[in-house]
Structure 1
């Protein structure tokens, strides 16, 4: 079995651990969409295990908040709330500022160049261009990846998955681009504190919920 992120072999403690990891990844990537009803028999056949580890895995994923169990329908993939909450932003700010501080002493010039390219592409887009969301996601995940923390990367994927379409903020994209530039400068300098501060401010100080 290989990790979807690293391509390196992964050893699971049990069949249940394996099934948990596989179903979690399918939810994160959207292969199992929101509201999808899961059938233990089908998943057991897919993963070539009995239904027991599948059932145990579903219970564990329910405790993680990714599945919801019902006496009649069984387990279904949790549907995201209508919009992000202030709690989402706080959690994201803490985790992402940590990721930036971890990445600062490790990130290389090639990654810095990638961040600059992505930010310039975002700078040239109109405010309503739908391509911004994917470019923004790629920008932030370049930083997460260079923190070299598989756990942090997994947590950020889960968090961004909960914010369908990415975090929504009440600021212009040009303001975001300017803030991205400050993050890049801090990372280029290898300044962990400055990278953390710039990232936290980017998320929290002008991040507000979109309201009707």
Structure 2
């Protein structure tokens, strides 16, 4: 049975982007892999034109790298970039946490509580894709509560560069539990409106993510070798 059934024409563009994104998040398409357009066209029963449009969308998200005259590859981040970018992301998230604690409304806290509880249920059920989506949503919700458009714009510009590994690289069981514990501590700080505590947790959370990405890249390289 085909795990990727043919796509209805009426939702072609949106569905193709979603299907390809899931293949990357699931690890069917791995960082650094060359993307075979003919194979994907056969898999989904589409022509190259809508497929290439979908790849452009994923390139804008940072998940795909378009190489002129050489096709497309699944985006990959190098260790040096991790060391350069993740500390900056940590400082941006730390500042967003401080601002969010100062501006957090009961309604916003309730939304974050709901998102967090759902994310934890996905973790307990080993549901990586919905977990990773909610993980990103929670981080972005904290920036939204912070209410600083310039800070959010800086965050999004860097997030595109690291999205392919920050939310795609599959965590080990230990790293996954560590990430959930970080989020538990983030929620504790949010409930207390303790900006300093949340800032510290978010910086540590990004250090943990950097370590996880290094591990994921080493495992990927070992598997290929």
Q: TM-score, normalised by structure 2?
A: 0.56
Tell me the SS of whatever aligns to 1:35.
strand
Match of 1:90 among 68, 87, 91: 87
Alignment partner, residue 132 of structure 2: 133
Find the aligned partners of 2:147 and 2:205 in 1 and give their Cα distance.
22
- Aligned pairs, how many? 149
Unaligned runs of 5+ in 2: 1-56, 220-225
Alignment partner, residue 111 of structure 2: 114
Give how far 1:150 is off.
Answer: 0.5
Deviations 1:61-92 (A, max 9, x none): xxxxxxxxxxxx9xxxxx95445612222111
Find the aligned partners of 1:194 and 1:118 in 2 and give their Cα distance.
20
Give how far 1:207 is off.
Answer: 3.8
CA contact (8 A) 2:104 2:145 kept: yes
| Pairing 1:191–2:194 present | yes
Deviations 1:27-75 (A, max 9, x none): 99549x64277xxxxxxxxxxxxxxxxxxxxxxxxxxxxxxxxxxx9xx
CA contact (8 A) 2:59 2:66 kept: no
Unaligned runs of 5+ in 1: 1-25, 38-72, 74-78
Match runs of 1:42-81 below 5 Å:
80-81=75-76
CA contact (8 A) 1:115 1:139 kept: yes
